[in-house]
Amino acid sequence: MVHVLLKRRLIDEEFLVRYTNAPQLIIHAPGSAEHGLILRTDEGEPAVWDQVSENYASACDPNVSPALVGEYQTPDGRTVKTAMALILEKYSDLQYAPENAAEQCGIAAEDIERFALEMAQIAFKESIRIDTEWTDWAGRKHDHFIGRPVSMHAMRGISAHSNGFQTCRALHLLQALLGTIDCPGGHLAKPPYPKHIPPHIKPARTCAPNTPLESPPLGFPTSPEDLLIDENGDPLRIDKAYSWDAPIASHGMMHMVIRNAVNADPYSIDTLMLFMANMAWNSSMNTAETMNMLREKDDNGEYKIPFIVSCDAFHSETVNFSDLVIPDTTYLERYDTISMLDRPISEPHAACDAIRHPILNTDRDVRSWQEVLIELGGRLELPLFIDENGGRRYKDYKDFIINYEKTPGIGFLAGWRGENGDQHLVGAPNPKQWEAYIENESFFELKLADNQRFLRHSNQGYLEFAKNAGWVGSTDQIVIELYSETLQSFRLAGEGLYDGPTPKTEEQAERLVKYFDPLPFFYKPLEQQQQDENQYPFYAINQRPMHMYHSWDSQNAWLRQITSHNYMYMNRKQAIDLGIDDLGWAWVESHNGRIRVQVKYMEAVEKNTVWTWNAIGKQAGAWGLTKDANESHQGFLMNHLISESLPKQKSITNSDPITGQAAWYDLKVNIRAALAEEQGSWPEFDEVKTLPRQQSTPDSVSYATHSNVNLNRSNRDILTRGGLK
Amino acid sequence: MKLGLLIDLDTCVGCHGCATACKQWNTSGTIGPLSDSNPYGKDPDGAWLNRIRTYEVGDAPDSKTVHFPMSCLHCENADCVTVCPTGASYKREEDGIVLVDQDKCMGCNLCAWACPYGARELDHDQGVMKKCTLCVDRIYDQNLPEEERQPACVLTCPTSSRLFGDFDDPESEVSIKSRQRGGRDLMPELGYEPTNKYLPPREKATVEMFALDSTEDGFSLKSWVNKMIAR
Amino acid sequence: MHPALSILVFTVTSGFGYGLMTLLILSQLLGGSPFANVNAYLIAFFVAFVLMSIGLLSSTFHLANPKNAWRAFNRFRTSWLSREGVLALLYYPIALSYVAVLWINEWQTTVAAYVLGAVCVVLGFVLTHCTAMIYASLKTIPQWHTRRVPIGFCLFFIYSGVLAYALAVVSEGGSPLSAVWIAACVLALTGLVFKLKYFTFVGEPSKTTINTATTFTEATVRLFDTGHSAENFLQKEFAYVVGPKTQALARKAVLALAFIVPLVLSALQFSRESSSLSMAIAAVLCCYVGLLLERWLFFIEAKHVVRRFYGEQY
């Protein structure tokens, strides 16, 4: 679609010039350390070619008219091209033509062309106009916003592929070309977003006893210098995040921790603490093998992971592997914040955050994990948790949430701040803040003014508002990065041209060169590159059902009536061709193992794809379910088929090579009907041991907060009312 | 008055939110409790007043997945009421809501047999028939803020696929929407004249393609002429 | 439909009871008692009452909340089940009065006996009709929503009455009139033909389809997800199915046990000089089991339209 739009020049050139780095000049010097880096002015600002002065100028100068496409020679003899010129060069290649893309994605070439032209039609011929006065980043007044109502929705599915990061970038490129980012009808950010690119947070490098981390554990590296590697180039973190294997692993790589620890690669650990992650079951790839790893012992008969601590409100499969179990409350029994400092519940045109408060009293000796952390912080006398006199600073979680300030006036909760609770976003701690939230049904909403609602990356009114609220660090324009200099710096490192850290191994270097393209591109997912696709012809994916989306870590008598076992959904015609019956049992096999599942026919699934609900299958006896529960004998996990490492590079994670995001969705499988006597899901595991003093489950429950007030029909009415008609 | 629901099959995403909200409200409401058997064992089952089934309409690739929520349709010709021997089942004259007086029900199942829509479920623990009350204990509750005097399923629906209102009033939102989008009856041939109406999925919008009037080749860097655009 | 055993026992057993009672009255009114002595006559009445009562009691066993069963008399204005209850209750004093009037008048058929007997006979038919209408009034079950159902119920009730009456007479050492055996043969034959036609009828497609259920009448509609993993009340109650082989076998058994065997036995009885007790017992037992099976099949073959929502096409 990018190819189609560029070929016809159906792009929003004003948007590209004003809001993206498309006009910025990129140095063209193949084989040199500065190839692909952005040409900068003496002040270090990105340079553009100004068509008025016919000279180089700063991209930050509002008084220039940059050339969108062009190639120039600098006075010192270097060749530079605009990023847009590189974009045109790259995507004009016939490999991006619809005819060739069709082969990759299975969508007919004429449909690809049609989609692109329909989007162009909507964006450019059916645009909307909202008359509102607003001021741009440079202080210039405007009297309207133009809306290009083309919008795309992608959640976590795309990033669960090992080519996910570049695919997401490709989607955003398409949006930027159509000028449909943060405009009316377009892709709208939700406060506290948008943020500057990249956010100015680097991952914490060092940790030491009695010393707070110098920054958050997760952040955004911009060059090889930011990697968390030692002098030998080996990972500092147990999950190998921010190493050469996954340089921009901004979510961490939880899925690798157990494997890395058991293999002592990069090192072994003595204690593993797990919270809200069922790592012995549905939160791990390769579940059966992970369970074995948790049991693995060294030559001295010691467990390779000697001590496991888990915190759980339920008897999950992981609890069974734990040396210490910290009982947690359910979310109905605790205080919680859904904070603007993390991922709040904002709407595009309103900043929102929320709390939870207990609606049930705990009926057992238990504290919420939040309370335990605050308690531990105080007892360990962590600097943040003690006051000037060395005493406890925070009494409990509620106290911490109210009084902790990230910077003066800014804390976890944005609503009802100030001593009197009359300030929002910024204000002194309010001792009655929790009560204010509870009075307002547990959430806070602050609507943005009309002039702050669109083009917020370049909207002075919004940026000033956001800076005041602590959402962004400056009011500088947030320039959309179509061309990523960060990725190019890693690619230079892979080519051995970078003036700084370079990778240790050929494998690492090859990945950097191949995948760290500063412009988005498609490549076949890593796992699929390393196996015979004819042997495993089906794509296999899984997702959480809507009705259980927020119950990964709980078990619910009502929800399990809706889904107590899962099926493998398969295209009806395809299944019939393979001789698999509707609701028949079938073997599904990947390079990593095989499972037996029940197949359900479906019309709406692509013929070479199968899918299922995840985390429905449970180990027999876990979660307080009876040992014959459907979850354990009909339900199944697809996790067994997914490997956490690549088929031919066992030491490398099965993840996006840039972000380290687990490649859950790269799985390919084959399927065949099971024999008539092969019934029930497989593998089955030993029953989980019953916990000491575990209560047996009831045969029947009737939940009610109070006895019902019956609807009464009078006897007179019963005896005298005629037929209905 | 003829109170009922207008259900939009175009926008329902099948999240079961209405079903669980219904169960939550009503298990403590006038018709509660709604019992569950084998709640943590094999084949868990319970009494629900609202269930969502999912259908596939048409063969692939011209197929549409349709989520289909169903609760009591509060029929004009409610045979469930006609057949009830005890008088426990009744249809209110003032608003058309079909209710069960649990104190008078003997649990014979006949009303469930008479209902073509599967709206009535016997509560095995309680021994009486349960059904949707249109949240009669919400919609008239003067203690609730006015905007909350609606059935629990309607309030909770994240896609606003359920509307509550008076079908007798031609100017009510449900009447207007039902007229505009051709609200349909389920199993109309049986003559139950259900109050609840179902809105069919909308036709796919037709979008024009951008009419190409130039032969400009955007890929030719040499012939590209930059527009004068101020930063 | 889920066949509740108590309902099968109720409808068949009470059918025998009302049928026997009806035949006892008819034979008395039309031609005098064929019984050798009064006690035998009283015993036959008693047996009829017991059968009726077992049936009625059994009908309450499927109630989930029997403490409210007494309220079932309330809605006779609209409910066939209520009407059945009211009439069943009314039947007792009238039938008892009839017996009492006979007894007082030393088994002479007085005008009072004629009136009460006639009322009782009519009531038997009306009551059976009410029972049948509980099923036949349900538009939700096309296999039941037909005149065939009340006709069949009445036919089987009087047929089982004839066989029971014959047994009662034979068990006292008497021989029924030839007309009784003829009636038994004619009714058995009618029942056989009637049931064969009904088996064809239940196979006819109904106009209520998965398409009219879901409003999508112009395309194939398939159930994708029931919305719950285990069977729920609706499926247990309305989607009770047996295999086609079982069903075919049951059909043959119904025809043989309920109709063909009693038909052959009655024909043989007709041709004999004196009636055989064992043949009379065999005919009644076969018919009873056959009719129980018939009633079971009546439920099994009834396809409630709720099943359309669970994926059944028509």
State the ipTM, two decimals.
0.95
Q: List the alpha helices (DSSP H) in A516-553.
A: 526-529
pLDDT band at A725 (very low <50, low <70, confident <90, very high): very low
**Does A546 reach chain C within 8 Å, measured CB to CB?**
no
Give the mean model confidence (pLDDT) for residues C253-262: 97
pLDDT for A51 beyond 90: yes
DSSP letter (8 states) at residue A398: H
The pLDDT assigned to A199 comes to 85
Interface of B with C in 15-44 (CB under 8 A): 16, 19, 38, 42-44
The rounded distance, in Å, linking the Cα atoms of A466 and A199 is 14
Is A604 in Cβ contact with B60 (below 8 Å)?
yes
B71, two tokens = 């609760």
Average pLDDT over residues A452-475: 97
Instruction: Look at strands A668-673 and A585-590 and give their pairing.
Output: antiparallel
Structure tokens at B169: 């009033």
User: Cβ(A528)–Cβ(A176) under 8 Å?
Assistant: no
Q: Is B30 helix (H, G, I), strand (E, B) or coil?
A: coil
Whether residue C211 has pLDDT greater than 90: yes
| Interface contact flag, C64 B116, Cβ < 8 Å | no
What's residue C16's pLDDT? 95
Name residues of chain B where pLDDT drops below 50: none
Cβ contact, residue pair A560, C229, below 8 Å: yes
* Average pLDDT in chain C: 94
- Partners of B223 on chain A (C-beta within 8 Å) are none
Buried b (16+ CB within 10 A) or exposed e, A592-631: bbbbbbbbbbbbebebebbbbbbbbbbbbbbbbbbeebbb
Mean pLDDT, residues C238-251 taken together: 95
Q: For residue C221, give the chain A residue with the closest CA.
A: A603
CB contact under 8 A, A564 and C77: no
Quick one: pLDDT at residue C274? 84
pLDDT of residue C33: 66
CA distance A682 to A640: 10
Q: What is the DSSP string of A642-701?
A: --SB-SS-TTSBSB-TTT--B-GGG-EEEEEEPPTT--S-B---PPPPPPTTPPPPPSEE
C180 neighbors C164 (Cβ within 8 angstroms):
no
Structure tokens at A78: 């270097």
Q: How many CB pairs under 8 A join B and C?
A: 189
- Model pLDDT for residues C168-178, shown as the tens digit of each residue: 999 888 888 88
Q: How far are the Cα atoms of A18, A24, A47 from residue A43, in angstroms, in the given order?
A: 20, 15, 10
Q: What does the pLDDT average to over C65-78?
A: 94
Q: Do B122 and C232 touch (CB under 8 A)?
A: no
The owner of tokens 């929502």 is C309
The DSSP line for B181-228 is HT-B-SSGGG----S-EEEPPPPPPP-PPPP------TT-TTT-----
Nearest by Cα to C187 from C157, C165, C228: C157
Spell out a b/e string for A118-155, using b for 16 or more CB atoms within 10 Å of the CB, else e: bbbbbbbeebeeeebebbbbeeeeeeebbbbebeeeee
Q: State residue A511's pLDDT score.
A: 97
Mean pLDDT over C109-137 rounds to 95
The pTM of the full predicted model, rounded to 2 decimals, is: 0.93
CA distance to partner chain C, nearest, from residue A551 (Å): 17
Does the pLDDT value for residue A667 go beyond 50?
A: yes
Nearest residue on chain A to B85, alpha-carbon basis: A718
Check CB contact under 8 Å for C138 and B83: yes
Calculate mean pLDDT across residues A493-505.
Answer: 95
CB-CB under 8 Å, C75 with B87 = yes
Binary contact (A561, C229; C-beta < 8 A): yes
Tell me the shortest Cα–Cα distance from B74 to chain C, in angstroms. Answer: 16
pLDDT digits (tens, 9 = 90+) for A196-240: 988 889 999 988 887 888 889 999 999 999 999 999 999 999 999
Confidence of residue C37 (pLDDT cuts 50, 70, 90): confident
Residue of C nearest to A600 (CA): C224
**pLDDT score for B41:** 96
Min Cα separation A391/chain B (Å) = 45
**DSSP 3-state of B83:** helix
Touching C (3+ Cβ pairs <8 A), the chains are A, B
Q: What sign does the CA torsion over C23, C27, C33, C34 have?
A: negative
Residue C113: phi, psi to the nearest 5? -65, -40
Angle formed at CA A211 by CA A205 and CA A213, multiple of 5 degrees: 35
Interatomic CA distance for residues A151 and A164, integer angstroms: 19
Nearest to A723 among C78, C224, C230 (CB): C78
- Give the whole-number percent of chain A exceeding pLDDT 70: 100
Rg of chain B taking only CA atoms, in angstroms: 24
Is it the case that residue A724 has pLDDT exceeding 60?
Answer: no
**pLDDT, mean of residues A531-548:** 94
Residue A16 pLDDT: 98
Residues of chain A in contact with residue C74, where contact means CB-CB under 8 angstroms, are 715, 718-719
Q: What is the pLDDT of residues B158-207, one digit of tens each?
A: 999 999 999 999 999 999 999 999 999 999 999 999 999 999 999 888 89
% of residues, chain C, pLDDT over 90: 84
The answer to whether the Cβ–Cβ distance between C207 and B189 falls below 8 Å is yes
Q: How far apart are the C-alpha atoms of A402 and A640, rounded to whole Å?
A: 44
Does the distance separating the beta carbons of A561 and C230 come in below 8 Å?
yes
Average pLDDT over residues C286-298: 97
Neighbouring residues of A261: CB distance < 8 A, sequence distance ≥ 6:
A238, A268, A269, A272, A304, A305
CA distance B222 to chain C (A): 55
Please name the helix (run of DSSP H) or strand (run of DSSP E) that holds residue A258, with its range, or none. helix A257-262
Query: Between chains, do B112 and C233 touch, taking CB under 8 Å as contact?
Result: yes
